[in-house]
Structure 1
Amino acid sequence: MLSELRTAHKVIGVKQSKKAIRDGAAAEVYVALDAEKRVVGPIYELCSETDTRITEITTMAELGDAAGIDVGAAVVTVLR
């Protein structure tokens, strides 16, 4: 599942993920467990409200690497 993230149609980051979730374009949201709770808290709330599936990943570095970027990522959203 995480290996497929590199080639999936996705957005990276909190702002873009919030927009995708609100617009109903999010198929699944990946959240790094070591990201600051104040940053990812709104993502959890939106996903709960919209019944969007969340998958938690251990670290931001692992999530960023899986998404194919050279830095850590707090949130990556796979689009429909």
Structure 2
Amino acid sequence: MPYERLKLAHKKTVGAKQTLKACQRGSALEVYIASDAETYVTAPILKICSENNIPVVKVDSMRELGKVCGIEVSCAAAAIIKG
């Protein structure tokens, strides 16, 4: 299951803005993107991940990603970060 590493991570970002910031800072180790998220939200994250060779895991839904991250709402992106 693709969510296992994210569930077990001690430090993570939740949400597109925080995930993008982590990628820009170079602290993202692995990024999770919901397949049903809007392209304009995820495109900048995917671009920086591609440029910096950060692994990207596509997951089925924003709702499930939010649940795995421990929040009550949907989530377009999340990342495991250094720390």
Mark yes or no: TM-score above 0.5. Answer: yes
What percent identity do the matched residue pairs reach? 39
Other-structure match for 1:57: 59
Q: Which of 32, 40, 49 is residue 47 of structure 1 equivalent to? A: 49
Quote how far apart the aligned CAs of 1:7 are: 4.0
Q: Gapped runs of 5+ residues in structure 2?
A: none
**TM-score normalised according to structure 2 size:** 0.89
The 4+ residue runs of structure 1 with deviation greater than 3 A are none
Are 2:33 and 2:58, in contact at CA under 8 Å, matched by a contact in 1? yes
**TM-score normalised according to structure 1 size:** 0.92
RMSD: 1.2
CA distance in 2, matches of 1:64, 1:16: 14
Q: Gapped runs of 5+ residues in structure 1?
A: none
- Number of aligned positions between the proteins: 80
